[in-house]
Amino acid sequence: MRCAAPKLLSVLLASVLACAHVQALANDNDNRPRARDIGLISGVLPPGKLNAITDVNGVLVGQTTLNKGDDIRTGVTAILPHAGNLFKEKVAAAVHVGNGFGKLMGSTQISELGEIETPILLTGTLNVPRVADALLDWMLALPGNEDVRSINAVVGETNDGQLNDLRGRHVGQEQVFAALKSASNGPVEEGAVGAGTGTEAFGFKGGIGTSSRIVPESAGGYTVGVLVQTNFGGVLTMNGAPVGKELGRYYLKEALEGKKVSAHAGNSALMLTQNDPIQLDHVSDRADGSIMMIVATDAPLGSRNLERLAKRAMLGLARTGSPATNGSGDYVIAFSTAPEGRINSSDAIRETKVLGNNAMSPLFLATVEATEEAIYNSLLKAKTTTGRDGRVVEALPIDKTVDILKKYGAIK
């Protein structure tokens, strides 16, 4: 009987190691599923080959992830409408502001002129000026830009300060150049990567997500691709299933249940009851944050209809359970990669063909569906992350989520 103990210990140890291995896989971005891997299909339109924004002809994406020490959880994500010199060959574009609590650099010139002349970079809030400065260095150094005196750098953000040392402003030229140099038209890494390394969504780990849709050939056969950086809250809803509510993590939960909630004012902590005035931006079940939504299409659209397209991304956001709260920066940038729509600023007269208003509805649907699925992918692919001050943001639990989706008929 004595010799059985080592054998039993060995079996137990093997079991523990196996469980640890499974958990490690579950927390690895590469081994967590996308929405379609668990049967979660949004809408009726088919996705592109990669089900990513890079399905749109010409679009490239590159990312740099900073995951260092105990408190650096940030990065940069670069979206390039085409591989050439964007200043020399601008693309038609538009911006829609769902709720403007944010710092989207370069937005006013896009709205005024209807064009984009640099890659679109996403990062953490206080990194925006540093990232923009590096982007200017990159653009000014491109062949053909030697005499350029002004460039409108486009940089969006969400606040990753819950997990990241935001004040350290750790993203600079090295990280920006690496993201731009690595940009490709292949699969896009999702979850806790790039600009999504330190973000949080619906009380779970958020991050980068992407998806695409193809409209029927009778409607032009065009592709719409969406990439999101999620860092917001609400009541997570997936294909109509109340996932956030079932998991017990959703906006206003504590207030609705009449429980005491914590509020912080400076260094003091207050305990508020149901009848007290609640500072909703401080309670634990808050929904503030931000989301950047980048919409790309190969459909030949002018800036006016690109703005209309951008507005539909907000409908996809709403489907996931976001109310676009007061403290959330909800921004959409939409652009067209159609070669015939390229813009040379030196042209005094431009002649181009664009789709008419009556052709837009299929593209609207594609945008809504791709935005919804991109947000799901950002949550499903993101791993549990520990960051600043030892704070842990858990990944969306896959098994429990699948059970809830089956319970409500959201998946088979």
Under the banding of pLDDT at 50, 70 and 90, the label for residue 350 is confident
Residues 6+ positions from 59 with CB-CB distance below 8 Å: 53, 79, 80, 81, 82, 185, 225, 296, 337
Q: State the pLDDT at residue 284.
A: 52
Cα 250 to Cα 233: distance, rounded to the nearest angstrom: 8
In this predicted model, what pLDDT tens digit does every residue of 88-108 receive, in sequence order? Answer: 999 999 999 999 999 999 999
pLDDT for res 277: 40
**Nearest Cα residue to 296 out of 129, 50, 103, 104:** 50
DSSP 237: -
H/E element, 113: helix 107-113
Mean pLDDT of 208-219: 98
The pLDDT tens digits of the residues spanning 372-391 come to: 999 999 999 999 999 999 99
Mean pLDDT in residue range 226-232? 98
Judge contact between 161 and 234, C-beta under 8 A: no
Mean per-residue pLDDT of the chain = 90
pLDDT for 27 beyond 60: no
Give CA–CA dist 291/97, Å, rounded. 11
More confidently predicted of 12 and 141: 141
Q: How much is the pLDDT for 351? A: 86
Question: Which of the four pLDDT bands, split at 50, 70 and 90, describes residue 286?
Answer: confident
Residue 123 sits at φ, ψ, to 5 deg, of -160, -165
The reported pLDDT for the residue numbered 379 is 98
Q: What's the N-to-C CA distance of the chain in angstroms?
A: 50
Q: How confident is the model at residue 263 (pLDDT cuts 50, 70, 90)?
A: very low
For residues 82 and 337, the answer to whether their CB atoms sit within 8 Å is yes
Reported as a single tens digit per residue, the pLDDT across 265-275 is 333 333 434 34
User: Quick one: what percent of the chain has pLDDT higher than 90?
Assistant: 82
In order of their start, the domains of the chain are 35-259+280-346+353-408 (3.60.70.12)
Which range, of 348-352, 367-371, 384-388, averages the lowest pLDDT? 348-352
Q: Determine the pLDDT at residue 245.
A: 97
Q: pLDDT digits over 322-339, tens only?
A: 999 999 999 999 999 999
Q: What is the three-class DSSP state of 204?
A: strand
- Helix residue ranges per DSSP H, 33-168: 107-113, 128-140
Q: In terms of pLDDT, which residue wins out, 253 or 262?
A: 253
Q: What is the pLDDT of residue 14?
A: 43
Active site amino acids = 290, 328, 330
